[in-house]
């Protein structure tokens, strides 16, 4: 399966389940809860969901609302070290299990999350 086929496979609803399952964990995670804006978790959930939908073959709502992703730049205000990366990936892997995504979708998303999360590290 290619990246661009994921949206056709799981739809809006699949991404919604995935991202909701991720953000449900954020307030309970000792590292993530300190990084994410606790007063706008719903907004953060929308941004990640729209971004992933765009990135994996769905409608480009993220671009329309936020412009070019520039993910590394957008993460610059947050101190992302390797521990933060590990917590983020653990929460996302747990979310993929909860959302019960098809195995081939999980394979494609896991590879993307693994490499992109590493690229967000911006501090020792």
Binding region for ligand HEM (CB under 6 A) out of 3-11, 12-20, 82-90, 97-105: 82-90
The answer to whether residue 85 forms part of the interface with ligand HEM (CB under 6 A) is yes
The answer to whether residue 47 forms part of the interface with ligand HEM (CB under 6 A) is yes
Both structure tokens of 122:
């911006």
Number of residues that bind ligand HEM (CB under 6 A): 22
Both structure tokens of 23:
């953000």
The answer to whether residue 48 forms part of the interface with ligand HEM (CB under 6 A) is yes
What is the Cα–Cα distance from 109 to 96, expressed in whole angstroms? 9
CB of 77 to ligand HEM, least distance (A): 8
Binding region for ligand HEM (CB under 6 A) out of 7-15, 16-24, 42-50, 95-103: 42-50
Q: Select from 24, 61, 74, 90 the one that contacts ligand HEM (CB under 6 A).
A: 74
The answer to whether residue 116 forms part of the interface with ligand HEM (CB under 6 A) is yes
Which 3-state string (H, E, C) describes 12-30? HHHHHHHHHHHHHHHHHCC
What is the Cα–Cα distance from 46 to 19, expressed in whole angstroms? 8
Exposure class string for 26-58: b at 16+ Cβ within 10 A, else e: beebebbeebbeeeeeeebbbebbbbbbbbbeb
State the residues that interact with ligand HEM by CB under 6 A.
Answer: 32, 35-37, 40, 44, 47-48, 51, 66, 71, 74-75, 78, 80, 84-85, 88, 113, 116-117, 120
């Amino acid at each position: 399966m290619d990246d661009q086929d994921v949206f056709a496979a799981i739809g809006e609803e699949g991404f919604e389940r995935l991202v909701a399952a991720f953000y449900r964990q954020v307030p309970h995670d000792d590292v993530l809860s300190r990084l994410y804006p606790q007063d706008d978790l719903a907004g953060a959930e929308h941004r990640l969901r729209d971004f992933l939908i765009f990135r994996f073959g769905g409608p480009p709502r993220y671009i329309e609302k936020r412009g070019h992703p520039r993910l590394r730049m957008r993460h610059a205000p947050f101190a992302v070290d390797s521990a933060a990366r590990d917590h983020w990936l653990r929460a996302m892997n747990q979310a993929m299990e909860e959302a019960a995504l098809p195995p081939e979708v999980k394979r494609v998303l896991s590879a993307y999350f693994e490499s992109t999360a590493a690229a967000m590290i911006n501090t020792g």
